Amino acid sequence: MVAVRYQTAFQLYPYEKVPEQTAQMAPVRHPVVIVGGGPVGLALALDLGKKGTPALVLDDHDGAGLGSKAICFAQRTLDIAHRLGASSPMVEKGVVWNVGRVFHGERQLFNFDLLPEEGHRNPAFINLQQPYFERFLVEEIRAAQADGALIEIRGRNQIAGLEQHADYVTLQVDTPDGPYRIEADYLIACDGARSTLREMMGLSFDGRVFEDSFLIADVRMTADFPTERWFWFEPPFKDSGQSALLHKQPDDVWRIDFQLGWDIDRAKEMNEDRIRARVDAMLSSQTGTVPDYELVWTSIYTFQCRRMQSFRHGPVFFAGDSAHQVSPFGARGANSGIQDADNLAWKLDLAVNGLANDVLLDSYATEREYGADENILHSSRATDFMTPKSKISRTFRDAVLHLAAKHSFARPMVNSGRLSMPCAYDGFALFGPDALKGGPAGARPGAPCPDAPDGNNFLLDQLGGGFIVLSIGGEAAPAVSAYSITAAPVHIDTPSDILRKRYLGDQESAVYLIRPDQHVVARWASFDEAAVGTALAKAIGKG
């Protein structure tokens, strides 16, 4: 029996019986089994497959779930998707907004225009419904399969049991044709906030529960309505709670959130007339007229900020929502999950090829636990600003809002969610020296490589998905190897002004060692083979 827990927006990987399900067959051992075909599991499978490592994805449904999930994908996610070959349809379909307005009650406090920073291939973020994001990843997986990548997605394959051994895992899998067993050298749990694998392994998931309920309404309007983000503190519309948010998605759909408080009657609040009354009030608040709209989706949710204590348990790794959850403010759920996949894929690839040790595999957990803590911190701060927990925090919050209307200094303190930025692994064990005097902080060891124009293209295109020795200005550096791993050379003879600013500062030349996830390992003023080799060994946990 495979229970249907939700409706799907797109059927992407219909159930098909595979030979392994034949009775009496000994369980087949797979190098990597990924449980969960959401954004994280799919990105990980695509990354592994493109590197030449087989990846098997099991999902208990057969496509992308319908409903309101992630809608905001940040630049780092798009850069990763670009490396995987999947970003073009995302950016084409996605909505970019630049103008935001912040209201307090009836009053507009201020507006802002997010002028895009020049010299990046991808925008700072796009709004795109999660089902599309998943569909575009699956389409790229299909293209990679056609090119020979060993990726397999099995729909309606549900995990019914797990046996953990020292260096592999046996899974009992339920299907519409009954159960079968498989084995995995590495098992990756990308099965979401209610992770079945986490529960089966009896692992705790502790953190802070925020006592609040949010009503989500996705509405379709074909009338002209500005592509702007509107955010209200204490919205003036009747019974609309502490805050309200309106922003646009593709297909003429606007996402609306109402923060209703904890003590609500969920059934009553889901009543369509009641939802429509709130939506009418919001949409007409600036013009006085209610545009025609259709309610596409409504739901009520609460959230928590928490993470697992450790993201790795022997051969089992947790990635995405199964490992950490944050409030939705700042779009840190799916975006941080994609960074998990990005961090894990190359380490697993080396492990499957016998080139990784436990130090490298453990670094996935320590690096991404740190990333999760940073995201939980930012999202907790936003939540505390939006829902003050004490009298004094309300006093300060209201003071910030009051001052923000008059003085621009207070506007950066207004917090309705901070845009997800990738974390820099400052001071982590696998990173090497910063030996570029006056080197720009944005490209310091530990940081993800900033993009920059290079000729008619962009720098990140040249970095690909392996180790890279990047020499900028000066002489071209050669390839460097350590422990059977080679960092391929990329040379930029004449850097663009922006590339110079982001990588050289006031230096004339530099040499960077870059990881497969495009984080900087170390940097120097000039090439020194021994130094680069030492840093490369360190980057794979053998330093």
Partner 1 sequence: MSVELNPNLPDPDGFYDELLQAHTGLSDTESEAYNARLVLIMANHIGERETLTRLLDAAR
**Residue ranges binding partner 1 (CB under 8 A):** 378, 381, 384-385, 390-393, 396, 400, 403, 406-409, 411-413, 415, 418
Residue 385 CB, shortest distance to partner 1, in Å, is 7
CA distance 99 to 407: 19
Q: Which is nearer to partner 1, 227 or 416 (CB)?
A: 416
CB of 416 to partner 1, least distance (A): 12
CA–CA separation, 446 vs 513, rounded Å? 11
Q: Which is nearer to partner 1, 287 or 390 (CB)?
A: 390
What is the Cβ-side half-sphere exposure of residue 253, based on CA atoms within 13 angstroms?
19
Beta carbons of 290 and 345 less than 8 angstroms apart = no
* Nearest distance, CB of residue 424 and partner 1, angstroms: 15
Give me the least distance between CB of 412 and partner 1, in Å please: 5
Rounded CA-CA distance 301/327 in Å is 11
Give min distance, CB of 442 to partner 1, in A: 16
Which tokens is 169 given? 């895992």
Least CB distance to partner 1 at residue 409 (A): 5
Query: CA dihedral in degrees (207, 319, 130, 71; nearest 10)?
Result: 40
Distance, CA of 449 to CA of 451 (rounded, Å): 6
Q: Which residue's CB is nearer to partner 1, number 5 or number 406?
A: 406
Sign of the C-alpha dihedral computed for residues 435, 436, 438 and 441 taken in this order: negative
Query: What letters, b where the CB count within 10 A reaches 16 and e where it falls short, cover 160-184?
Result: bebeeeeebbbbebbbeeeebbbbb
Specify the residue, 363 or 375, whose C-beta has the smaller distance to partner 1: 375
Closest CA to 345 of 308, 319, 371: 319
Separation CA 211–CA 486 (nearest Å): 51
Rg (CA), the chain: 24
Comparison of 276 and 418: residue with beta carbon closer to partner 1: 418
Q: Output 362 or 384, the one with its CB closest to partner 1.
A: 384
What tokens appear for 221 in the block? 């309007």
Question: What span, in angstroms and rounded, lies between the C-alpha atoms of 229 and 255?
Answer: 10
Nearest Cα residue to 314 out of 437, 184, 212, 404: 184
In the structure encoding, which two tokens stand for residue 248, read together? 């646009």
By C-beta, is 200 or 410 nearer to partner 1? 410
- What's the min distance (Å) between Cβ of 386 and partner 1? 13
Q: Residue 46 CB, nearest distance to partner 1 (Å)?
A: 34
Shortest distance, CB of residue 426 to partner 1, whole angstroms?
A: 15
The nearer residue to partner 1, 107 or 266, going by C-beta atoms, is 107
CB closer to partner 1 out of 7 and 393: 393
